[in-house]
Structure 1
């Protein structure tokens, strides 16, 4: 078979297997399709499929096929992160800055500290720090991974629970939005490339100027042209971000943050996000799974994932409950918000991918973080649904 045929076999596997599992086993309550696709990527990776059927794995996922898949995955995740940036409602966060600041701050800092403590335990053993990583970078990276909330998946869950447009749903989105900005800021600090400091300084000077220009241009072009202009802006910012040593996904996120959500129709935005999730993001999930490793031992990786999961869940709930006490929320509301903010898949995986690309963490650390993100996300809906019903009845 030629490379094109093998590539299409890989695409057939990527799209059919997770869908059939999701549909036949009706996993939507605890594992929506996006989570099944992430798990499918792990199972199709070298640690599972590659270990059980090495010849088959080597035949399908040969280097030239992986290279082609990575190209699709890069563009998919750039679009997805760009959309996440656009959806950040900074105006709403500013209008409610006192309440949003207290909640978002505690919901970020507390799990960050818990995660750093868990990472400090793991760093007592070899195998978790990447070739170019330093201990403080791994501590901050793993701590922030425990604090992440995946805004795009949170939107899907809120819609699924029927509270997306409610006051509670909009508040949760504000908290997650503010934390998203902090997360990308910390990431930029972690991956600061001293060898490209001049380029990064040029980026910091040029970005605000370019942002003012693109915002003015987007207001002037017709509504039908804004998606095209936005995608050109996305590609340019991804390139410049990578050239500056910040990573192309940081550039993609910033490209979205500076664009106002009201530039695009809400229905079109929802439809476009759904299409991206359905058509090309599964390739990113597969390429993510291909990067999982278990060389330090399966038990060690699962143990690390469990430790990080406890730190992430306990830290987030503690921080949100403390915010609830300070702000005098109704009984039960803090639990609902705390569990909703556990949603980590996608943004956490993107975050960990960047750390892995920069060789700050190892493949084993990446695998543990990936498992933690999947576990945290799968807990969200089952834990929120009964609490939300009790809150509505009270």
Structure 2
């Protein structure tokens, strides 16, 4: 009697593909210089989505990625990205930013403002054509959302790349983290504004008021308990705040960031936090990349989506570099330093993808716009190490300025 394959077996087949395929491409292709594993995983997610695998091999795609399997993968992806975004919030060091507030404020403002402006102009251009704005999106939400997507810097991936370049613990690396940290706050703040639902303003107000009160009590509790208990309590707190934000209509990812940003990084052992981030990336984030790939859409035609992605990439890269060069002139940085910082802050994968996922969930953008933004994020991140490495070799003094 032939064996009827079960949902569990299909799920395990899907997990095998998710874990094995990007690793083999990364390891055997030796792509680490221009495409770190995390980037390969994102690209693999796109390839395994309906626009590529689903189009070329529809029978295999429909056989493996059934509705039940996709739902199971989505559950893992939600939890993975909640933890990841929460860690990003914890790693924000506002104390150092405040201690260097003039330099940090000018640099972070220009690093965010210029690509936001350029991206917003690109979004206005896209609005002249149908198919880019979502069914529930207002024009201002679309322009702000796409503009901010062009301005995003992915703090966790930036940390990984600076570790690879061996500059994370230098003075330069710590300065870049300050700039990215301030921009992260602005990014999530803008997202919260974009997601404001005026029909549910009472519920959102109640959530924010309750969150503010709960933060005071939570911080007192965390200071009173030993570190081994803080890890468990932090996860419980994460679930509660993410639920509250989603209930209020702000999306659970906004809640995950709010859960992390009120926690002090010195409450946790730095090495353990680094390990947690690495393990989340290793164990569960590949599932998020796959679920992201499943949401890509080429219905308008691949060429049109690639053109849109190219316009957004140009806006993002030129805006970020223009902002940093202007900051360098104002603050009188040494020659070449603005370019290095500007290219490092191009790192967009993960946080921008998370940001765009929220916009797609709320129907502010269409899946075609999401695909264009995803391609822009991948290309921007892939440019970082090839552009920065030669510049760092020409400025060896940066390695000696320890924080």
- Taking structure 1 as the reference length, the TM-score comes to 0.99
- Residues 306-345 of structure 1: CA deviation (Å, up to 9, x unaligned): 0000000000000000000000000000000000000000
1:251-298 CA distance string (max 9 Å, x none): 000000000000000000000000000000000000000000011111
Counterpart for residue 363 of structure 1: 367
Give the number of equivalent residue pairs: 394
Q: Which runs of 5+ in 1 are unaligned?
A: none
In the alignment, the residues of structure 1 paired with residue 272 and residue 195 of structure 2 have an alpha-carbon distance, to the nearest angstrom, of: 34
Q: Within the alignment, does 1:311 sit opposite 2:315 as a pair?
A: yes
SS of the equivalent of 1:259 reads coil
Residue in structure 1 matched with residue 91 of structure 2 by the alignment:
87
User: Which residue of structure 1 aligns with residue 380 of structure 2?
Assistant: 376
**Alpha-carbon separation, structure 2, partners of 1:304 and 1:391:** 35
* 2:107 match: 103
Looking at structure 1, the residues matched to 202 and 123 of structure 2 have their Cα atoms a distance apart, in angstroms, of 32
Q: Pairwise mapping of residues 186-265 of structure 1 onto structure 2 (< 5 A)? A: 186-265=190-269
- 1:137-174 deviations in Å (ceiling 9; x for gaps): 11111100000000000000110000000000000000
1:319-358 matches, cutoff 5 A:
319-358=323-362
Tell me the residue number matched to 1:64: 68
CA RMSD in angstroms comes to: 0.7
For the residue of structure 1 that corresponds to 2:158, the secondary structure is helix
**Which residue, out of 152, 155, 163, partners 1:148?**
152
**Counterpart-to-counterpart distance in 1, 2:198 and 2:23:** 44
- Is 2:124 aligned against 1:135? no
Q: CA deviation at 1:393?
A: 5.6
SS at match of 1:246: coil
Separation in structure 2 between the aligned mates of residue 60 and residue 194 of structure 1, nearest angstrom: 41
Given the superposition, is the C-alpha separation of residues 149 and 209 from structure 1 closer, same or farther in structure 2, using an over 3 Å criterion? same
Deviations 1:98-147 (A, max 9, x none): 00000000000000000011111111111101010111111111100000
The CA distance in 1 between the partners of 2:113 and 2:372, in whole Å, is: 21
- Which SS does the other structure have where 2:395 is aligned? helix
The residue number in structure 2 matching 1:25 is: 29
Paired with 1:287 and 1:310, the residues of 2 have a C-alpha distance of 27
- In 2: Cα distance, 1:352 partner to 1:213 partner: 33
Report SS of the residue matched to 2:258. helix
Deviations 1:50-102 (A, max 9, x none): 00000100010010100000000000000000000000001111111100000
Which deviations, in whole Å up to 9, do the C-alpha atoms of 1:332-391 show, x marking residues without a partner?
A: 000000000000000000000000000000000000000000000000000000111112
Query: Out of 281, 291, 295, which is 1:291 matched to?
Result: 295
Deviations 1:168-216 (A, max 9, x none): 0000000000000000000001111122111111112111111111111
Whole-angstrom distance in 2 between the partners of 1:386 and 1:68: 43
Decide which of 38, 42, 46 is 1:42's aligned counterpart.
46
- Distance in 1 separating the partners of 2:344 and 2:309: 20
User: Gapped runs of 5+ residues in structure 2?
Assistant: 399-403
Q: Whole-Å Cα distance in 2 between the matches of residues 132 and 151 of structure 1?
A: 29
Residues in 2 aligned to 1:109 and 1:115: alpha-carbon distance in whole angstroms: 10
Of 175, 184, 189, which residue of structure 2 is paired with 1:171?
175
After TM superposition, the runs of 4+ consecutive aligned structure 1 residues lying more than 2 A away are none
CA distance in 1, matches of 2:68, 2:136: 27
Give the distance between the partners of 2:178 and 2:392, measured in 1 at CA: 19
